[in-house]
Chain A
Amino acid sequence: MRVLVTGMGGELGTRVAQLLEARTDVDDIAGCDFVPPRRRLHRAHFARIDPRDHDRLTQFVSDFEPDAIAHFGVYEPHSRMSPDEAAHASESCTVHALGAAERTGRLARIVVRSAIDVYGRGRGHPLVPDERAPLAPTSPYGRTCLDVESVAAGIGRRLDIPVAALRYAVVAGSHVPSPLGRLLRLPAVPVPAFADPAFSLLDQEDAARGMVEALVRGFDGPLNLVGPGATSPWQAVRLGGRIPIPVTGPGWAVACRAAELAGAPIPPHVLELMCHGSVSDASQAVDALELGFMVPTQEVLADLFEWATVTKLPEQARVA
């Protein structure tokens, strides 16, 4: 199997490439991203290509002729790019990488990264949606993910190949750049004054395992991938030893501006999570992909705060 990993420079893309390298049924791995991989890769071939550079991206994919794609070229706003750049890069990477792979005539399966934000949040939306719930995103990131799923599903229908959409909860971990992680690690964190909605997190290793399993099994259809259990803004803030700042109504605009100045901008889908929660039913994914134990949300959260602990090394003798 020749696997293309788009977005290989991210934490998840790199980890998926590592897991694929360990498999004997994967012959060749190639990947691209605008930043280099986060860990050492042995077999995988990486090309540093900006996802918005369609000519180079198309050429790279055409030359590689993949028969499977793990599509991580879906960029979360304020994770590594601004919201506008992230939406543009996601669209460009999806259309050009998947389009070029389709034209090679060898493509046999696709798995795309999506998010549970495609279900939307708030009044009139299900509290714990499963895969059959209506898709009605209420944030720009949710709409981006839905567009990515639509493009991949269209290619799947034309080529009659399986297309899996992995709808992730917020992926958090010690080294994952995430706007929610940055927000929760601020010394004082804005929280809803009159609500405390539940949200779930997903461990980075579980997210990577899910992608690899969906790819090698050739799963067809959407799957929610969410860590067991949940947490809430007030609990997360207290667990991290931070100070909760109750906010309501127009106060959120002020809180968003203050958080941005403090280095943790709050994109709309994270604001939605804080105000309306973000959970979903992941029982189908656990069964279909035989994932076994998944890291509970509470442990993912504990990891997030442990990251802030830096062990200082003793000062060495001056070299010069």
Chain B
Amino acid sequence: MRRSALAPNYGIDADRVLATDGVVDAFRRRLDGRYAVDEFGGDPHLTDVLARAVSPVQVRVEHAENIPRTGPALLVSNRGIGVVEPVVLVLAVRRAAGRRLRVIGAPELPVLGPVLRKVGAIGYRPDDVAALLRAGHLAAAPLSPTWLRGGVGEPPRALLAATLGFPVIPVVVRPGGPLGLPLRPWRVVVGEPLLPPAGTEADDPLAAAEISEAAREAVHNLLAAT
């Protein structure tokens, strides 16, 4: 006998943010196990619950129309301090496009790795990122960190090679105030999607190098313009 009356994944979408539960309902749902888990270890219900905790963080998104409302895309963003920007980017995509962003770079460490995967991060393996995009998700690949220096870091070439064919969207995340202090809202600027020439196959080294440079340059230009 099937529980065909049940909505798929108990009404929770792994990609889109739908209506969220109240605190009591959310607690009851966790207790009963009526939530979704996706193939990449993400727990969208838990991210919805945790999103409430960061709701005071203010983010201003510019050119949000460049974020696809459905389908896969790889966002390539700058990374200064390295920890805060991905969280802000997740919030920006969630608020502007109503979608869940999967940040690439969860370390393979006990406790920390599983916790980060649970809230939507994914490891750095190019094959896994390619599988994530094939499944229709949005992923964010930060450039290498520049710490408190200006400019942008190196692009993730291996990732871009494995994910050739999917749209690459340059994004810039700027702190609201000096040294990332929350004096003003964070600013997220989304660039035009970049696409490799038609017919490009995955793992084409020349095409990967070209799109890596194009992504780095696009992030650099966005950063210079903001």
Contacts and interface: CB of A to CB of B under 8 A. Distances in A.
Interface stretch (B35-43, B50-58, B74-82, B193-201): B35-43
Nearest to A200: B39
Given A299-B6, A306-B3, A235 B37 contact: yes
Contacts of B34: 239
B8 A298 contact: yes
Interface of B: 1-4, 6, 8-10, 14, 30-41, 43, 108, 110-111, 114, 118, 122-123, 125, 127-128, 131-132, 134-135
Contact of A128 (B4, B33, B43, B128): B128
B35 A235 contact: yes
A189 to B, nearest CB: 12
B127 A130 contact: yes
A230 B2 CA distance: 17
Nearest to A281: B131
A276 to B, nearest CB: 10
Contact of B41 (A127, A238, A281, A303): A127
Interface in A144-195: 194-195
A230 B33 contact: no
9 contacts: A123-B108, A194-B110, A195-B110, A232-B41, A238-B30, A238-B33, A239-B32, A281-B39, A299-B4
Chain B at the A interface: SS class = loop
Given A194-B114, A283-B134, A229 B3 contact: no
Contacts of B123: 127
Interface string A277-297: 101010100000000000110
Contacts of B36: 229, 298
B21 to A, nearest CB: 16
A305 to B, nearest CB: 10
Interface string A216-240: 0000000000000111101111111
Contacts, number: 98
Contact of A126 (B30, B31, B125, B134): B125
A107 to B, nearest CB: 34
Contacts of B108: 123-124
Contacts of B37: 196, 198, 229-232, 235
Interface residues of A, number: 36
A125 B41 CA distance: 15
Interface string A231-251: 110111111100000000000
Contacts of A128: 39-40, 127-128, 131-132
A123 B128 CA distance: 13
B40 A127 contact: yes
Interface of A: 123-124, 126-130, 133, 194-198, 200, 229-232, 234-240, 277, 279, 281, 283, 295-296, 298-299, 302-303, 306
Contacts of B4: 299
Given A127-B122, A238-B32, A239-B34, A133 B127 contact: yes
Given A229-B39, A232-B41, 17 more contacts: A127-B122, A127-B123, A128-B40, A128-B127, A130-B127, A194-B110, A197-B114, A231-B37, A232-B43, A235-B35, A238-B33, A240-B33, A279-B40, A283-B134, A296-B9, A298-B8, A298-B9
Given A238-B31, A281-B131, A298-B9, A127 B125 contact: yes
A81 to B, nearest CB: 29
B205 to A, nearest CB: 18
B131 A239 contact: no
Nearest to B127: A126
A198 B35 contact: no
B33 A235 contact: yes
A38 B39 CA distance: 32
Nearest to A126: B127
Contacts of A303: 1-3
B222 to A, nearest CB: 31
A195 B125 CA distance: 19
Contact of B2 (A124, A197, A279, A299): A299
